Every structure is written in C-alpha cells, then in structure tokens.
Amino acid sequence: MASLTISKLRKNFGPVDVLKGVDLEARTGEFIALVGPSGCGKSTLLAMIAGLETVSSGEIRIDGKLVNFVAPKDRDIAMVFQSYALYPTMTVRQNITFGMESRGVPRAQQDEAVKRVAALLQIEALLQRKPGQLSGGQRQRVAMGRALVRDPKLFLFDEPLSNLDAKLRVEMRSEIKRLHQRVGKTTIYVTHDQVEAMTLASRIAVMHRGELQQFAEPRQVYDRPANMFVAGFMGSPPMNFIPAKMANGEGTAIDVDQAGGTATLTLARPLSRPAADSIVFGVRPEHISPARENGAAKPGSATLKAIVELVEPTGAETMVGLRLAEREITGRFSPDDAPRVGETIAIAVDMTKSCLFDPKDERLIS
Amino acid sequence: MVDATLKAIEADPAEALASRRYFLGRLGVYSFLSLFAFIYLLPLFVVVANSFRPLPEIIQNGLIGIPHSFSFGAWGQAWSSYCVSGTCEGMHRNFFNSLEMTIPATIISTMLGLMNGYILSKWRFPGSDLIFTCMTFGVFIPGQLSLLPWAFILGHVGLANTIGGLVLIHCVQGTSFTTLFCRNYYVGIPDDLIKAARIDGAGFWRIFFKIILPLSPPILIVSVIWQFTGIWNDYLFGVVFSSGRGQPITASLIGMASGGVNVRVYDVMSAAVLIGAIPPLLIYFFGGKYFVRGLTQGAIK
Amino acid sequence: MTQATGLAEAAAGPTLRERLARAVPIIVLAPSLLASFVYVFVFAIWTFYISLSNSSLLPSYGFVGFGHYATLWRNTRWKIAYSNLFLYSALYVTLAILVGLGLAIAIDQRVRGEAIWRTIFLYPLAVSFAVTGTVWAWLYSPNAGIEFLVRSLGWTDFTFRLTTDRNLAIYAIVATGIWQSSGFAMALFLAGLRSVDPDLVKAAQIDGAGPFRTYRKVIIPTIAPIFVAVAVVLLQFAIKTFDLVAALTQGGPGISTQFPANYVYDLMFQRGQIAEGAAGAMMMLAALAVVMVPYGLWLVWRRRRESGHG
C-alpha cells in the first residue's frame, strides 16, 4: 500500500489556480523530491500534505486514510522548514519535546526519545542551548531532531538547505541522505535545486506552473525528460535545444544547420510517434565532445561543424561556447581538448543520449 | 591635544581654516542644543524650585528664580490639606483615584491588545485586515465624538461619575491603541514558527502562552508605558465623567490651579502639579528607550 | 478501502471539534471587535443623529435636519474657534517640524551626551497638556512670570504678556504646543536620519557636496515619508486640542482663543445644547477625515507601488 497518495489535487487562491490537478504517490520508505522553479506550486503542495492549507478539490491519503480534513497534528507527519522555525525562547531540548508535551507523552518516554534522537544526530552537547546560540548547520540538525522524535509516517522537508552556504549545503545533503538510509521513512522533499533532487531522491517529481511535468527516477528524468521544460530544468549547464528538420519521410535522420551549411545526423532510435517536419533537437553539453581526427567515430555519434566563441575553464572541465550557424550551444570538454576562440572545429554529438522534442507541445518524441 | 592642534594650525593655512570652521560648527551645534535645552528645562525647573520655596519669596522674587530658602510645607499641604471647592484634603484623594483608574485600564487594555494583535496577525481569516483597519480608526477619532454616547451608556449601567466608568472608557479606547501596536509587532514573528507549532500539535492557546508571550516583553513594556502615560495624563474624560473628590489628578489640577482668584498659591500648586506629573515622568525616565521605540514603531506604520 | 467508504469520508467534512477549534480566534476577538465597532461606528452615528435632533439638555429624538449646523456656523465663537484651529495647525505643525528637524540634525552631528539631550527634549511627551498649560500660564503671567523676571533684571520696559492680550494669546498657545511636541518630531526625525544608507552620504561627499548641500539634497529627501507621518500626527493633535487651551487660557481673554474642541465641550456640558455640540463634534470629525483619508489613501498607493517594483 502506498504511504502517500495524491489524486487530482487542485488548489486555488481566489481566481488564481496554484495547483491544477496533481497525481502523485509515494511508496513506503521512498524519498520523493518535489522540484521546480519558484511559483510552480511545490511549497503549496507540501503545505496541503501537511494540512496547513486546505484542499480545493482532490484527495490526499496517508496510508490509505483520507486526510483532507484532518488537522496537521493528527496526520502523523513531521516537517522541517526552510527557516528551521525553532522556538527561539526554548532550549534545544524543549524544542524537541514541545510536540510530545502537547500530546501528553509521559516524561520518561520523552527523555528516552530525546536521548535517542540526540545520539542519532550528534546534538547531545547542544541540548541546553537556545537556537540563537547555534550555527546554521546545528540548527538544521535540531530541526531534523524535532521532526525525527515524532516517529511519523511521513517526513516533509521544505527547502531545508536553502539558507546554508554552498559548502555546508553539500555536507548537510549527505547527512540527510545518510539519515534517510538509516531511518527509512517516507520523505517528501521540496527544493528548487535540481542537484539536490538528483542526489537525494529515489523518484523526482518535476513541477511547473501548478502541473506535474514528470514523475520518475532521477536517471529517467535526466536521460528521457518528458518535455522541454524538464529537459531544460534538470542538468547544469542546461540541455542545448537546436531547431532541426526531418531529413526524410521515414524519420531516420534530421537536418541541422551548422557552421557553413547543413549536416544530416542519423538518429540512434526510431521515433516513438510520428513527427511534423520541424522538430527540436536536444543534446546535453556533456554529450558534445571534439570529434576525433583519426576518423574512428564512436557508434551512435554524429559530427557537426561549429565556431568556438567562448572558452571557460572551470578546473575539472572546460565549458565551450559554440556557434552552429544561428544557434549558440554549450559543450563540456575535458581541459586537454580545449579549443581556441575563433576556431572552427568539428564536434561529435552522442546521438544515443540525445532527445527530440515536438516544437508545438514541447513533449518528447524520441 | 590643544598643543597638537595649535601646531597643526600654524603648519597649514587651509587646514587652519578648516579646523576653525569645524570648531565654529561644533560651537554652533552645542549652543543651539543648549539654548533649546534651557527652554525645555525652564518649566520643569520652575515647578520643582517653586515647590520648595516659601510663598512670600515667590511673590517677591517672581516664579523664575533660584530658591533662597527651602521649605517643605507646600508638599504636605498639596498632598493632604489644600482646599479646593469646599473640601480641604489636598490632592491625595485624586492621586489614588488616578491609580485606581490607570492601573486596571492599562493592564486590561494591554492584555486585550496582545490577544487581538496575536489573532489579527497569526490567525488570519477573511476580513481580518479590514477588521484591523476598523479597529485602528479608534485611535484617530476625536474624543468629543464619544462624549455624549459614553454619558448615555455610563448613565444606563450606573457607572456615571465613578472611577469604574473611566476605567471602562479607557479600556475600550485603549484597546484600539494596544491592538495596533501589538499586531504590528507580531507581524514580525515568522509564520513558520506557528506552522511548526501546529504540526507539533499546539493549538490556539498553547501557541499563545508558550511561543508568542515569551517573545512579547518588548511590546508589552511599550504598551504598558504608553497606556499608563496616556491614561494618567487624560484630562477630557476625567473632567467630563467625574467631579470633585472623584476626579483623577490630572483633571483636578486645572480646577485647582485656576480656583484661587487673585492670590495664587504658587508653592502649593507647584507641589500639586508635581504630584500629578511625577508618575508618568518617572516611567519616562526609567523606560525611556521603550518610549521612543513605541513612538517610532507606532507612528511610522 | 472501498470506494464507498472513501466517498463517505469525503462527505463528512471537518468534525465538530475541528470546526470549534477553528472558531476560537474569532470568538476571542469578538468582544473587542464588538466594543471597537460600537465605539467607532455606533458612537459616531449616534452623535451624528443627535446633531440632527432637537435635543437640548438631554437627548431627544425629534428630527430637525441640519439646523444646528447652520446655527453653529453663524455663531461668532465657532467661527473664531475654527479660524484659530487653522492658524494654530499651520504654525504648530510647520514650526514643530522645523524645530524637531533642527534638533535632530544637531544631535545627529555626533554630539556627546546624546542620551542626555534626547531625554531633555523628549520629557514633555510624558507630561499631559493640562500640566504644561498650567505651568506655562504661570510663566506667561505678567506679574510673576517671564515679564517679571526680565523686568527685575533691569529691562523695566519689557513686556511679554501674551496671555492677557486678545490678539496675541493664540500665539502663546502655539508656542506652548510647539514646546510640547517638537521633541516627538525630533525623535522620529532622528530615527529617520539614522536610517539613511551611509553609502548615500559617502557618495555625496565624493561628489563634492558640503554638509548643507548633502542634507538638503540627499538626506532630507530620503526621509520625506517621515515628514508626512509627523505632519499627519501633529495635525491630529492640533485638531483635538482641548487640554492645552483649557489649562492655559480657558479660551480667553474673552473668546479670542476658543478652539473647536473647547466650544463643543462648552455646548455639551455647560450650556445644555448637546445637539449643537454634537454638530460641532461632527465638524471636528470632518476636519480629521480631511487629514486622514488622503493620508490613508497615499499610504495604500505607496505600498502598492513598492510591491510592484519589489
């Protein structure tokens, strides 16, 4: 039985539709990331799961039980907020036990729970301090401790790492992952950072303008994005989108404008549905590399000519800005292959990893 | 330091001009401030000094003068024996009336303000902003508008001409003020705290007592200070809704001061004025920064 | 979970307990809300009705239309009161702002003992207008106050008898009002001056602006909203002036320092003409509305503009 089921969920604030019919489910123990740009509705969705926002229409079920009208405290959930929301006038210990006290849990049980959680998160030394005396990472852990101590069916995270600096963010990300592996609770994690989503989630739900764009495993979302929005949102730097035309009636090759002419690229896979004449050709920067001059082309790769416009070394790799006729694309080269600005070079594109999109509805064709 | 400045002046004429200008500038600023400080302090000095000068000396040397001799009789008279419109028991009755009126009204209006501010900022419901605006109107409407209705109401509930009636008036009117202050203050408390508490199972009251109230001391103090001062210093309602022995001290002061026709008993009146003015002044001296905080938060909304 | 049970659950909606819990805030707010509503609206409407009725000493509810307003405006005392109000407001607000601004700028020059200066200039706020009026009345009195002092110092021809001169008494009220309130203006201006971005001042210095120019062109325009806020609050005080006049001049000499609030009080409680008094009170409300409504609209407009840009 699914731990969380959301069916046809809609939410409107007056005339504004914030969620336009979302279907989602989380199996027990899964880590689901809700990812999307600001305003896509992910925080509203989380608030509705928590019971902090009412449902306009649709159903939310936790462990099969309908919870649309159940108060947050009775939904057996725990939430970690972006700002941690630690009670500033209480000690860490009191912060953690606040919920248990509200529910009338006996003192002995409370103490045991605190000990357990403090050991798990290594915050024993902080129990008597107040939130104002803690660092960002420590506050994060206390917030998680407060959530853990409830032993809920569902963990909800609302952009918990956004307030941390980059280095701390990476550290805490790993901690969250490790915690999830140990504790194994169903988790819904909202973030606008697609890297966090990719590294943490067992399944990713990409949202845009109140609608679910794609709900699948990270690999799937990355390699076979359902539409151009997902393709452009996941991955950094984003996927290159190149307008192209079908080369022949059988849908086996496409024509792409390049520096000084047009190239015909053979598709690696047959089309999954018939396509109009013009299509969008999507290829990620890491799948563009300098073509080998010794002629031994990798199977599934095609060659294009491009003019080098920008070279940005980042240390581990070099980002190259290339121009194909009118279109600018980005490639990720290894530092040893870095070309010079102004050169016209031949680039190899891995066709097995590329995507074709319908320019009208922006969905994936192949 | 003077030597160094002199040497520097000799060394460079442009610098000399600049530092002379600077010196004049500072002189100007301090003179300006001192002049106004003198004007501001004059009345206070006059009142304090005259409460300790014997009356003949005041009449001879005028109100504004350094005391040549000290006498403490005026205070005793002002407190317990001065005669006003028939009764000769000084101002102590009025002083206690003021306490009886101000303390309950301050406490009640502050508590209500805290509650209302909490509700209007953290438990939004449709129309709560409109309600808040309407409640704030109470701060601005002139007292004259409510004189007749209050007279009517107090008469009907049997509180006419009593301190209780004044307490009621100041509670109702004060709550508009305290609600305004508290709500604006509570808006600064992050909403996430409330959400977290709700998930933790806390309801309306638990959130108020365990989370909001511990965060409230600053606004609590501001509210108490402003309410106490405002209610103690009220004249209009005191003079309309009470009389004679039943009046709060501020209302009774004017009657007392303009009571004597020709012979002004300046020494006793100075002491009486001080008795009436000291409680708020004390609060001001000890709670000064909260006073200012209330000002800047309330007016620049 | 069968479909039927699911539908049944969905139809049940929130339980009674949950509904009650959600109603608690409104229930707690209700008494204050009711009191406020009565105090603000019912009182105003009731007073308005009285102003249209034939009440004299006690309320009576026969409708007579706007006759009392006409009587009011034909009355010399009322006309003097209203013109006093205009004069007082104009002078009081302008000068209190100027003095307050001057004091704030002076203190902002990093003077020493700032806390002392501030305490001195602000203490009048803790004093009631009644007390202030009483004490200043003594200071203005020719045979014991300032005139007496200056004469006793040698200038035997010095006259300073504002409160006994029909034409000058109003200025005594203005001066005393300014004495009472410029500290308030100072506090707000000081807070505003302190909130100016120091980088702005540095940029002006680099651009070569001297201190006067910096104040005039950079700092003061930045705190313009504070001028408006202070002016509005002071105007309110001015319109409600009652205690000060009652204490300082009692409306005299003669009727030269009558103010609307004092005349209204007189009508209501000394002369038993509450209907006319109510009309006067409504006129005071009208004056306040003229100040507050545009201000309120301006605030809303400004907030909307800022959120648009933000």
pLDDT at residue number B181: 87
Residues 73-132 in A contacting B (C-alpha not used; CB under 8 Å): 73, 77-79, 81-90, 98-99, 102-103
CA-wise closest residue to C234 among C189, C264, C169: C189
pLDDT at residue number B98: 92
> From CA A9, how far away is CA A30, in angstroms rounded?
20
Q: Which of B193, B199, B215 sits opposite A79 (nearest CB)?
A: B199
Is the per-residue pLDDT at C7 higher than 50? no
CATH class, A240-357 region? mainly beta
Looking at the structure, do residues B56 and B165 belong to the same domain, yes or no?
Answer: no
pLDDT at residue number C2: 47
CATH class, A4-228 region? alpha beta
pLDDT at residue number B139: 84
Structure tokens at C17: 């307990």
- Chain B partners within 8 Å of C106 (Cβ): 29, 32-33
Instruction: Say if CB B199 and CB A50 are below 8 A apart.
Output: yes
Q: Which residues pair with A35 in a beta bridge?
A: A191, A206
Q: Which of A83, A99, A146 sits opposite B201 (nearest CB)?
A: A99
Residue B231 lies in a domain: yes
Is the per-residue pLDDT at B4 higher than 60? no
Distance from the A323 Cα atom to the nearest Cα atom in chain B, whole angstroms? 48
Q: Which residue of A has its CA nearest to C16?
A: A69
Residues 6+ apart with CB under 8 A from A311: A318, A319, A320, A321, A338, A339, A340, A341
Residue B125 lies in a domain: yes
The second-level CATH assignment, the architecture, of C81-309 is Orthogonal Bundle (1.10)
pLDDT at residue number A58: 92
pLDDT of B231-249, one tens digit each?
A: 999 999 988 898 877 888 8
Looking at the structure, do residues B150 and B268 belong to the same domain, yes or no?
Answer: yes
Instruction: Show me where the domains of chain C are located.
Output: 3-43, 81-309
Is the per-residue pLDDT at C164 higher than 60? yes
Is the per-residue pLDDT at B300 higher than 70? no
What one-character DSSP code corresponds to residue B167?
Answer: H
pLDDT of B37-91, one tens digit each?
A: 999 998 998 888 888 888 888 777 777 777 778 888 888 888 887 776 667 777 8
pLDDT of C45-62, one tens digit each?
A: 888 888 888 777 777 777
pLDDT of B245-296, one tens digit each?
A: 788 888 888 777 665 444 677 888 888 889 889 999 999 888 877 777 777 7
Looking at the structure, do residues B119 and B24 belong to the same domain, yes or no?
Answer: no
pLDDT at residue number C55: 76
Place B3 in a pLDDT band, splitting at 50, 70 and 90: low
Looking at the structure, do residues B58 and B158 belong to the same domain, yes or no?
Answer: no
pLDDT of C216-268, one tens digit each?
A: 877 888 888 889 889 988 998 999 889 898 888 887 788 888 899 989 988 88
pLDDT at residue number B37: 92
The one-letter amino acid code at A259 reads A
Instruction: Tell me the average pLDDT across C19-46.
Output: 85
Instruction: Say if CB C31 and CB B168 are below 8 A apart.
Output: no
Percentage of chain B with pLDDT > 70? 91
Contact at CB, B146 and C122, closer than 8 angstroms: no
Instruction: Give the total number of structural domains in chain B.
Output: 2
Instruction: Say if CB A85 and CB A139 are below 8 A apart.
Output: no
pLDDT at residue number B301: 47
Q: CB burial class (10 A; 0-12, 13-18, 19+) of residue B22?
A: exposed
Distance from the A150 Cα atom to the nearest Cα atom in chain C, whole angstroms? 22
Stretches where chain A sits below pLDDT 50 are none
pLDDT of B170-185, one tens digit each?
A: 999 999 889 988 988 8
> For chain C, first and last CA: distance in Å?
49
pLDDT of C174-203, one tens digit each?
A: 999 999 999 989 998 988 888 888 888 888
Place C165 in a pLDDT band, splitting at 50, 70 and 90: confident
> From CA A54, how far away is CA A69, in angstroms rounded?
8
Instruction: Say if CB A281 and CB A356 are below 8 A apart.
Output: yes
Instruction: Tell me the average pLDDT across C271-286.
Output: 88
Contact at CB, A85 and B196, closer than 8 angstroms: yes
> From CA A114, how far away is CA A146, in angstroms rounded?
9
CATH of the domain at B195: 1.10.3720.10
Looking at the structure, do residues B166 and B234 belong to the same domain, yes or no?
Answer: yes
Domain of B251, in residue numbers: 92-299
Instruction: Show me where the domains of chain A are located.
Output: 4-228, 240-357
Considering chain C, what is the average pLDDT of its residues? 83
> From CA B148, how far away is CA B157, in angstroms rounded?
15
> From CA A119, how far away is CA A114, in angstroms rounded?
8
Contact at CB, B195 and A73, closer than 8 angstroms: no
Looking at the structure, do residues B209 and B176 belong to the same domain, yes or no?
Answer: yes
C-alpha separations of A26 from A1, A11, A33, A195, A205 in Å:
10, 20, 10, 20, 11
Give the mutation candidate from A44, A49, A79 for the B interface (greatest B CB count, under 10 A). Answer: A79
Structure tokens at A327: 């279109």
pLDDT at residue number C200: 81
Is the per-residue pLDDT at B11 higher than 80? no
Instruction: Tell me the average pLDDT across B139-164.
Output: 87
> For chain A, first and last CA: distance in Å?
33
> From CA C148, how far away is CA A148, in angstroms rounded?
80
Percentage of chain B with pLDDT > 90? 26
Is the per-residue pLDDT at B10 higher than 70? no
Instruction: Say if CB A34 and CB A42 are below 8 A apart.
Output: yes
Residues 45-104 in C contacting B (C-alpha not used; CB under 8 Å): 46-47, 50, 59, 99, 102-103
CB atoms within 10 A of CB B152: 15
